[in-house]
Structure 1
Amino acid sequence: MSGVSIRPVTPELWDDLAGLFGPTGAYGYCWCAYFRRRAKDYTASVDAPRPERGLGNREVLERVTAEGRVPGLLAYDDGQPCGWVSLGPRSDFVRLAHSRTLRPVDPEERGVWSLVCFWMPPRRRGKGLATLLLDAAIEHARDNGARVLEAYPVDTAGGRAPTADVYTGTVALMRRAGFTCTRHPSSGRPIARLRLTG
């Protein structure tokens, strides 16, 4: 994986991101909009008839990108897109704002960014790409003024889990990168936090 480069997704890279996700928008018409939309709007888009399935989700991600708000980072190998991580200020993610299980740990805390998704084609998995994407995400968040980077990983207890279940990353991945992993105080869900500034 030494030849991998990772870039913030800007409007000129939209076609590369869309090509990586393919016609089904990655996780079954998701287009990495799950955390960017209210539950009812996301579900309506995914449950639409097949020709329109996921169209609303795609439009959300494309609009964010076109507006110049970096929705995440894209990994390239030999000039071809090969992986994705989504992150940004916590306020960018509508579902987090309305979540009963992932309320802010400290509502007064400023500068919290959220890392919400990894995606890569099956042939790219299990080769360390998620670690490279996570390292780049930490650097990107720090460089853009984040004070804390927060993630919502899955605890596989050292075992394996279906890929579709661990799109937010795993507790083990976060711990290796220096995150402190605890249980959310109100819901008991795993939450990983990395302080980026003093």
Structure 2
Amino acid sequence: MAVEVRPATRFADVATMLGPRKDPDATVCWCLSHRVDSATNKSLVGRERGEYVRRLCRRKVPPGVLAYDDGEVAGWAGIAPRADLPVARSTKIDAVDDLPVWSIFCVRVRPGFRGRGISLRLVEGAVELARSQGAPAVEAVPVDNQGKKVDLTMAFVGTRGLFESAGFTNVADTRSVTAGFPRVVMRLPLG
């Protein structure tokens, strides 16, 4: 398997991972639900969501990373400075400290590519993107599923085990629950 992880600068590839499957006017997540504030998220409908992501892909700092398996788009991880994300204002997920960490908020692997370790490669690639931008640490708030199966629809936050495999450690509990599992703050210092 030749998996390569690169910054998400090609909109067509991001659309393969995040866009609507059939109806281009459908209002799907586009990985904006955890990137933008609630009012902006609600105001973007149909194709506007994709156009917003297109603009993100043109920025100096891309909105995440993509995994390619033998050249085919296989996965996505969204990452940004925590201060720029809704999680920074969460009433259920407290900041651990004032360190300007970056946060991985979504990890997705396309059907047909799952079970090959691509999620781990995406996390590692997201960490490298944050490192290249001078981030002092990277955080994630995955579910602590204790090895139990997580519904794929809600698995986008990742699992504690995935982030432990990438060298992250649990630094805090939260009051947030996803798919019936508690979420924890995992951190990887980059210093």
TM-score (normalizing by structure 1): 0.82
Corresponding residue number in structure 2 for 1:36: 35
Distance 1:158 1:97 in 2: 28
Corresponding residue number in structure 2 for 1:123: 112
Give, as a single letter, the amino acid of the residue that structure 1 aligns with 2:150. Answer: A
Corresponding residue number in structure 2 for 1:101: 92
Corresponding residue number in structure 1 for 2:63: 71
**Which of 2, 15, 28 is matched with 2:12 structurally?**
15
The SS at the match of 1:154 is: coil
Residues 105 and 185 in structure 1, CA contact (< 8 A), matched pair in contact too? no
Distance 1:186 1:82 in 2: 32
Corresponding residue number in structure 2 for 1:4: 3
Structure 1, unmatched stretches of 5+, are: none
The SS at the match of 1:167 is: helix
Shift in Å, 1:182: 4.2
Q: Percent identity?
A: 36
Give, as a single letter, the amino acid of the residue that structure 2 aligns with 1:196. Answer: L
Give, as a single letter, the amino acid of the residue that structure 1 aligns with 2:109. Answer: M
Corresponding residue number in structure 2 for 1:154: 143
- Which 4+ residue blocks in structure 1 deviate beyond 4 angstroms? 185-188
Shift in Å, 1:185: 5.9
Shift in Å, 1:85: 0.7
Shift in Å, 1:33: 0.5
Query: Pairwise CA RMSD of aligned residues?
Result: 2.2
- Of Structure 1 and Structure 2, which has the larger fraction of its residues in helix? 1
Structure 2, unmatched stretches of 5+, are: 177-181
Distance 2:163 2:110 in 1: 21
TM-score (normalizing by structure 2): 0.84
Residues 101 and 189 in structure 1, CA contact (< 8 A), matched pair in contact too? no
